[in-house]
Structure 1
Amino acid sequence: MSKLVVRAFSISLDGYGAGPEQSLENPLGKGGEALHEWFIPTPTFRAMTGKEGGETGLDEDFASRSFENVGAWILGRNMFGPVRGPWPDDNWKGWWGDTPPYHVPVFVLTHHARPSIEMKGGTTFHFVTDGIDSALRQAREAAGGKDVRVGGGVATVHQYLRKRLIDDMHIAVSPLLLGSGESLFAGIDLAALGYACTEQAGSPRATHFTVTKQG
């Protein structure tokens, strides 16, 4: 059965999933790129960027698992780009160039309509203006029985968590302090929502946790 999952979601030791002041120069906010230092050396990431090699081990195990059985993605608008408000034109097509790393349909939450964009490599961006339930319904249909992955950002994860729609999450805690930004756990009582930690493993670059919905 198709699940709604969060995979390879990196946060700081003080709980931030992105740094402050996201911009074109700092897509993940100031200091946010350092959250992913566990992921960048892996063969999975290197293959995404057209490179060979990489470091195998625990981090790669979690990195490669994060793309298994994924048939569609859901993204918040900030994960698609820095543009705010109505789309000024159709020039912005995401952070990733002509060949995004998704290779499946991607549903972008937004308040402003825009035609779908078909990219190289099998990625098509669809823009959803009628909320998270509609995005999930469309993503499940497009996924064809495979899982739907919520790619972020923090606000998008929060919306699905509050409605107890996420089945499980893999969170990678990087050993650094950001001090401010977007907090993954602020205002979220995972225990009250019926989630529990079901897996824990550590590497020099991150501690990996899996949090699963119970019942």
Structure 2
Amino acid sequence: MSKLRCHISISLDGFVAGPNQSEENPLGEGGDRLHDWVVRLAAFRRAHGEEGGEVTESTRVFEESIDNIGAGVMGRNMFGPIGGGAWGEERWTGWWGENPPFHYPVFVLTHHARDPVQMEGGTTYHFVTDGIESALEQAKKAAGNKDVMLWGGGHIARQYLAAGLLDELELHVVPVLLGGGSRLLDDLGDADVRLEQIRAVEAPGVTHLKYRILPGAAS
């Protein structure tokens, strides 16, 4: 059965992006430091058509994170551009260029309708205006027997967690203090979210903590 999985890098003080996001600095001030651990990996570089890189304890974590994924979901803030709003005449197609790294359908949650956008390499962006349940339903249908990756950002991941729709959460905890930005685990409302830790991996510059969301725990 298809699962909704979320793998996200997070600072020690709980932020998944830094403050003062901009088109020049989409991850906010200091936010790129959250991903130093993964961009150094040989497996990451191969997945992006590059050579070189390292093999560390993080390698298998990264390889598992991209395995068996058939579709993705992300929020408008992650897709961009900064500030959101109506699409306008300049048809923004994300931060990842003409050949995004996903290579499967990605469902973008937004308040502004738009026709699907087909990119190179098998990525097609679908724009969903009727909520997180609809986006997940469409993504699971597109994924078939494979899983769905919840790419973020923090606001959307928090909504799925609070709604009890997330099956697995892996936090890549980086020893960085950002002091501000986008938090992941604030404002869960009345949701009773219960997690079962199923793995902890210590690696250079990061600790990987993997959790299963217990069925029926959130409300």
SS in 1 for 2:141: helix
Task: Assess, with a 3 A threshold, how the Cα gap between structure 1 residues 75 and 143 changes in structure 2: closer, same or farther.
Answer: same
Find the residue that maps to 2:39 and give its secondary structure.
coil
Q: Deviations over 1:79-112 (max 9, x none)?
A: 1112521111253111011100000000000000
Superposition map of 1:21-170 within 5 A = 21-83=20-82, 84-170=84-170
Task: State TM-score, norm by structure 2.
Answer: 0.93
RMSD: 1.6
Deviations 1:28-53 (A, max 9, x none): 11110000011011123212432112
Cα deviation, residue 125, structure 1: 0.3
Unaligned runs of 5+ in 2: none
Deviation at 1:214, TM superposition (A): 2.2
- Report the equivalent of 1:175: 175
**Residues matched between the structures, number:** 214
Give the partner amino acid of 2:45. Answer: R
1:176–1:101 Cα change, 3 Å: same
TM-score, normalised via structure 1 length: 0.95
Which sits farther off after the overlay, 105-114 or 54-63? 54-63
- Deviating above 4 A after TM superposition, structure 1's stretches of 4 or more consecutive aligned residues are none
Q: Percent identity?
A: 49
| Pairwise CA distance, 1:132 | 0.5
Q: C-alpha separation between the residues in 2 aligned to 1:127 and 1:204?
A: 37
- Residue identity in the other structure for 2:15: Y
- Mapped pair 1:19 → 2:21: no
Question: CA offsets per residue over residues 159-200 of structure 1, 9 Å max, x none?
Answer: 100111100111100011001111111134899322122211
3-state SS of 1:196 partner? strand
- Greater Cα offset, 192-201 or 110-119: 192-201
